[in-house]
Each structure stands twice: as structure tokens, then as C-alpha cells.
Amino acid sequence: MSVARGQIEFSFFSDKPLRLTTASAVQEAEFPNPAPPQQPFIQSIVDDLNGLAPGPGSVESAMRSAWISDEVLKSFRAGSAL
């Protein structure tokens, strides 16, 4: 992003540092990407499939989630707006 007094460079998908460039200096700041928030859940499913630990969910909670999704999408699936 460039503005009248300088330029800011950054990346969303890498660990490159944020760079601020002005007429008088170049500054860099490190902001490492956080771990993917879904990784622990995915790992728990992999562990369950490999027989290492029981999964975090149950059939009942999956059925409840499916029912909620169906209710939310009911009018969309019927062809009308929400």
C-alpha cells in the first residue's frame, strides 16, 4: 500500500516481515503467522481414526449440527431468500 508519506508492504500467506518505507527510513517488524485454528480439531479426528484417542464429537452432536444446518438453509433450498 503506497501513500503520500511512504509505503507499507506485507504478506498474508507468508512469514515475511511487515516493511514500512518512508523518505527517511525503512523499518521492518516480524509478525509470524499464527497456527491454523482448526489444526487441533483436525488432529483429534486423525488421532481418533488412528485409534490413538477418542474423537471430540458424538453422533448426537453431529445430528444436531446437521439439523441446525438444514433449518438455516431450508428457505434457500426451497428457492426463496431468507
Q: Write the pLDDT tens digit of every residue in 19-42.
A: 999 999 999 999 888 888 898 888
Q: What is the DSSP letter of 21?
A: E
50 confidence band (pLDDT: 50, 70, 90)? very high
Strand pairing of 18-22 and 6-9? Answer: antiparallel
Of 44, 2, 43, give the one whose Cα is nearest residue 23: 2
Please give the grid coordinates belonging to residue 28. 521492518
What's the average model confidence in pLDDT over 46-70? 91
| Phi/psi at 34 (5° precision) | -70, 160
Residue type, 69: S
pLDDT of amino acid 80: 65
